[in-house]
Amino acid sequence: MINLSYRFEQNSCSLQLAGMPDVSNGDSIDTIGILSSWTLKIIGFPLLEGEKEHLDNLMQVVLQYSRLYISGIRKKVVSSKNVVAIFPFGKKHKLLLNSTRDGVKPLEIILDDSEFSDLIRCFDLLRYDSRFNINWEKDKDIPFTKRYINQNSSKSKRNINIIYAFIVFIATGSLLLLVPIKNNNELKMNNNKSTDISEINK
């Protein structure tokens, strides 16, 4: 029986998959059609492994979140069975993995933009690798409509605009308070001088 193993590596993470050809599906000897195991290593965190369903959930959630994030939408994405969740965590991203085993605490993985980009790159390499003949359960990469983007991001933009307007108002008011106002006595003196000049001209 042929056992195959392929690895996808980036700077901060490494994804390895093992399996065998699906003879009944006509796979070649170097094609994985039946996935037997997978492991994901992210630097600084425990090794992740599981069944195909777990990898499906992880890929689907991460890729969906990345599409939203690129479109300016910051929101939480959760898998269908609540096994995987990812959401913004300040300027970083928190990946929450819930074990299907009883008594196992959820694993939290916090990624910065570069680490998150490495993870996405590994998944993209896997999805489009011709050495795999596996049907991944993932959403179609259909672009979001402008209406959807506006509905999900306009609220935050509106709040930012209000804050900017308030700052401009305070700054302008402060500058106006610093502008000197002429004294009434100086105005009277100027009026008297203009009167004297007019009398001389007479």
Q: What is the pLDDT of residues 65-89, one digit of tens each?
A: 998 988 888 889 999 888 899 999 9
Question: What are the pLDDT digits (tens) for 133-168?
Answer: 998 876 656 665 666 566 666 454 555 555 656 566
Of 32, 21, 83, residue with least CA distance to 55: 83
Inter-residue contact 11 to 119 (CB < 8 Å)? no
pTM score: 0.70
pLDDT for position 118:
96
Tell me the pLDDT band of 112, cut-offs 50, 70 and 90: very high
More confident position, 154 or 175: 175
Q: Which H helix or E strand runs over 60?
A: helix 52-70
Average pLDDT rounded to a whole number, residues 2-11: 94
Tell me the pLDDT band of 179, cut-offs 50, 70 and 90: low
pLDDT at 199 over 70: no
Question: What are the pLDDT digits (tens) for 118-137?
Answer: 999 999 999 999 999 998 87
Average pLDDT rounded to a whole number, residues 51-78: 91
For the chain, give every residue range classified as CATH 2.30.31.10: 4-144
pLDDT at 105 over 50: yes
More confident position, 176 or 8: 8
- Residue 154 to residue 158: CA distance in whole angstroms: 6
Sign of dihedral through CA atoms 63, 123, 31, 50? negative
pLDDT for position 154:
46
Question: Which residues, at least 6 apart from 108, have a Cβ–Cβ distance to it below 8 Å?
Answer: 94, 95, 96, 97
Cα atoms found within 13 Å of the Cα of residue 81, Cβ hemisphere only? 11
For 4-144, the fitting CATH number among 2.30.31.10, 3.90.25.10, 3.20.20.140, 2.70.240.10 is 2.30.31.10
pLDDT for position 195:
45
SS3 call for 143: coil
Sign of dihedral through CA atoms 79, 84, 90, 91? negative
pLDDT for position 200:
40
Average pLDDT rounded to a whole number, residues 115-119: 96
Percent of all residues in the chain with a pLDDT value above 90, rounded to a whole number: 50
- Residue 101 to residue 98: CA distance in whole angstroms: 9
